[in-house]
């Protein structure tokens, strides 16, 4: 690209090939010298844990208070709290973020307060391989960025400088994207998510309507029906006239035939 010669072009072009994690035990990482190191990955697995609980309760406020107490005891937070009401059911939905090391303890403590679950599901997703792969690719991109910065210093014309800066911009965007994904995964791994939905059945009665009100409604409905009837006649008046004409013509023809 620039005046440093073919050997420089080959070295930084070769570095653009991104490594991938072939297993959970190894990650390919480029060091600062541009050589490849095989790094053993013995750290604990990266697991994203989630749970969904749904059950009926007779006291919404007490159930919420009990859950809140359990969450605080396990150093978690209630991330969202929503309530809604249908015809005969009041439902409350909580989204809880809890440290992964107290995830199961929290589930067990809540379960002790519930006689029967409509739904109880727990899932664990292993993202260790994705985590290792992202770290390897991020290190490769940072090494590539460093190499392009060195080439930028050595560039001796505007064209080369602009091309290198364009490549640097693309690399930095990829670095930021991978850093954001790593940060998201780290958050999901360190804090597990528990979605809880509990509800209470309510007995509601319809609104009683007085007899006078019913009569007034009936009169109104009758008037509306009559209006619709007359409007319908106005819409079909040509057909009514044709039917009347045909009737009189047939009647006259029948009368003439009878006289003969």
CB atoms within 10 A of CB 189: 19
Residue 86 backbone dihedrals phi, psi, to 5 degrees: -105, -160
- Burial (0-12, 13-18, 19+ Cβ within 10 Å), 96: buried
Strand 47-56 to strand 191-201: parallel, antiparallel, or no bridges (unpaired)?
A: parallel
Give the angle 108-192-58 at the CA atoms, nearest 5°: 45
Where residue 5 falls (left for φ over 0; alpha for ψ -120 to 50; beta otherwise) is: left
Residue 240: pLDDT band (50, 70, 90) is: confident
Q: What is the C-alpha separation between 183 and 162, in angstroms, rounded?
A: 31
In the predicted structure, residue 97 carries a pLDDT above the cut 50: yes
pLDDT of residue 57: 92
Confidence class for position 77, pLDDT limits 50, 70, 90: very high
Mean pLDDT for 234-251 is: 77
Which strands form 89-99's sheet, in the order they lie side by side? Answer: 77-85, 89-99, 191-201, 47-56, 117-126
Rounded Cα–Cα distance for residues 179 and 182 (Å): 5
Structure token pair of residue 27: 């990650």
The answer, yes or no, to whether residue 213 has pLDDT greater than 50, is yes
CA distance 186 to 197: 26
Is the confidence at residue 207, as pLDDT, over 70? no
The percentage of residues in the chain with a pLDDT greater than 90, rounded to a whole number, is 49
Average of per-residue pLDDT across 111-119: 92
Is residue 192 within 8 A of residue 99, CB to CB? The reply is yes
In this prediction, residues 187-214 reach a mean pLDDT of: 78
CA 90 to CA 56: how far, in whole Å? 10
Answer yes or no: is pLDDT of 8 > 70: no
C-alpha span between 124 and 48 (Å, rounded) = 6
In the predicted model, is pLDDT for residue 99 greater than 70?
yes
For the chain, what is the total number of helices (H) and then of strands (E)?
Answer: 7, 7
pLDDT digits (tens, 9 = 90+) for 154-193: 888 888 889 989 999 999 999 999 999 999 999 999 999 9
Count of alpha carbons within 13 angstroms of residue 201, beta-carbon side: 3
Phi and psi (nearest 5°) for 165? -65, -35
Confidence of residue 120 (pLDDT cuts 50, 70, 90): very high
Q: How far apart are CA 111 and CA 64, in angstroms?
A: 14
How sure is the predictor about 93, in pLDDT bands with cuts at 50, 70 and 90? Answer: very high
CB count in 10 Å sphere of residue 251: 10
* Residue 131 burial class via C-beta count within 10 angstroms: exposed 0-12, middle 13-18, buried 19 and up: buried
pTM (two decimals)? 0.58
| Mean pLDDT (whole number) for 201-226 | 64
The predicted pLDDT at position 218 comes to 66
Token pair belonging to 255: 């009368």
């Amino acid at each position: 690209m620039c005046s440093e010669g073919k050997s420089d072009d080959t070295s930084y072009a070769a570095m653009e090939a991104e490594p991938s994690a072939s297993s959970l035990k190894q990650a390919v990482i480029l060091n600062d010298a541009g050589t490849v190191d095989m790094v053993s990955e013995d750290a604990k697995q990266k697991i994203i844990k989630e749970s969904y609980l749904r059950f009926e309760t007779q006291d919404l406020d007490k159930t919420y208070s009990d859950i809140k107490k359990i969450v605080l005891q396990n150093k978690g937070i209630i991330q969202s709290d929503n309530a809604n009401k249908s015809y005969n059911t009041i439902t409350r939905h909580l989204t809880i973020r809890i440290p992964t090391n107290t995830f199961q303890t929290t589930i067990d403590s809540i379960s002790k307060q519930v006689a029967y679950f409509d739904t109880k599901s727990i899932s664990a997703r292993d993202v260790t391989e994705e985590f290792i792969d992202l770290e390897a690719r991020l290190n490769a991109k940072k090494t590539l960025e460093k190499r392009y910065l060195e080439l930028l210093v050595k560039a001796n014309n505007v064209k080369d400088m602009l091309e290198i800066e364009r490549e640097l911009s693309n690399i930095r965007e990829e670095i930021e994207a991978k850093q954001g994904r790593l940060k998201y995964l780290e958050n999901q791994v360190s804090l597990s998510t528990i979605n809880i939905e509990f509800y209470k059945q309510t007995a509601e009665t319809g609104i009683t309507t007085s007899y006078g009100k019913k009569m007034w409604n009936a009169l109104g409905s009758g008037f509306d029906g009559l209006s619709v009837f007359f409007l319908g006649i106005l819409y079909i008046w040509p057909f009514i006239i044709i039917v009347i004409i045909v009737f009189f013509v047939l009647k006259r023809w029948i009368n003439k035939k009878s006289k003969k």
